[in-house]
Amino acid sequence: MKRLRWDAILGLLGVLLLLVGSYIGLFLAPPDRHMGEVQRLMYVHVPTAWISMLVLTAAFVFAIASIWTGKPKWDAAMTGATEVGVVFGALLTAQGMIWAKPTWGVWWDWDVRLTTTLIMVVLYAGILVLRSFVDDPERRATWSAVAVIVGYVDVPLVYFCVRWWRSLHQIQSSPETVASSMVVPLRINSFAILFIAIWCIAQRARLEMARRRGESVALPPKRAPRTAEIPGTPQGVDNV
């Protein structure tokens, strides 16, 4: 019998927790005093926001490790975390739009929180797209690690902008300001989405490592120095 890998167990646990947390959030937690039933979106929207930012923070750390060590495994982990961050960030934006319509009366507003989140998603999606145009694996790793590090400037902005500037979006809640019956499904879904994200990153990183192995097989051997082709050229001097 094939043994389940650690990430598969984590992924399955994530799905199970998401079902339990969503059931509690949808059917057992009380409706919000001001927003009524629509507030139940919080149990998927807020965990998705937390995990998106956490995953992009992991991408930032992997990018530093990739530049520091030059090891392909960190580049693969960074790619995985960036892609998962983009997917979860896009989902976060869509969930926010669904919540905005009944509460703000519009699907979208160029509010500071919404705008910085959109910039975050587009920025990291752009890094993934541009990355696919670079053929040399080492240049691709260095270039995209630098881009991920520079792009990370936007992630703390997404988190703190509601405190620093006037925003339509509410500031962060804490367990002291939220009823305990609402904190439980929020926490369960946060761990659920974290476990699912880890599974996704592990899968995507393995895919990237396999791609890299395939590239090293497919790449032609490096050309001999041009000096060898021209008789009479001193050895070690490039004649470009």
Partner 1 sequence: MSETAMPEGVIVGAWNFVIGGYGLTALVFITYAWSLWRRRKASDRDARSNG
In the complex, the residues that contact partner 1 under the rule CB under 8 A are: 11, 18, 22, 26, 31, 33-38, 40-41, 44-45, 48, 87, 90-91, 94-95, 98-99, 101-103, 196, 199-200, 203-204, 206-207, 210-211, 213-214, 217
Q: Of the two residues 74 and 99, which places its CB atom closer to partner 1 in the complex?
A: 99
Kindly tell me which of 71 and 213 has the beta carbon lying closer to partner 1. 213
Rounded to 10 degrees, the C-alpha dihedral 199/205/211/212 comes to -160
Q: What is the C-alpha R_g of the chain?
A: 23
Minimum CB–partner distance for residue 21 and partner 1 (Å)? 11
CB of 130 to partner 1, least distance (A): 20
Q: Based on CB atoms, which residue is closest to partner 1, 161 or 205?
A: 205
User: Closest distance between partner 1 and the C-beta of residue 32, in Å?
Assistant: 9
Q: 227 with 238: CB under 8 angstroms?
A: yes
Minimum distance of partner 1 from residue 10's CB (angstroms): 13
Residue with tokens 């799905």: 15
* SS3 (DSSP) at 216: helix
Q: Smallest gap, in angstroms, from Cβ of residue 200 to partner 1? A: 6
Exposed / middle / buried, residue 135 (Cβ in 10 Å: 0-12, 13-18, 19+): exposed
- Residue 60 or 88: the one with the smaller Cβ distance to partner 1 is 88
Per-residue CA distances from 100 to 49, 93, 113 (Å): 15, 10, 12
Which C-beta is closer to partner 1: that of 100 or that of 157? Answer: 100
CA pair distance 133, 119, nearest whole angstrom = 21
Of 7 and 183, CB closest to partner 1: 7
- Distance between CA atoms of residues 220 and 110, nearest Å: 49
Phi and psi for 36 in degrees, rounded to 5? Answer: 70, -140
- For the bound state, the minimum distance from the C-beta of residue 231 to partner 1, rounded and expressed in Å, comes to 39
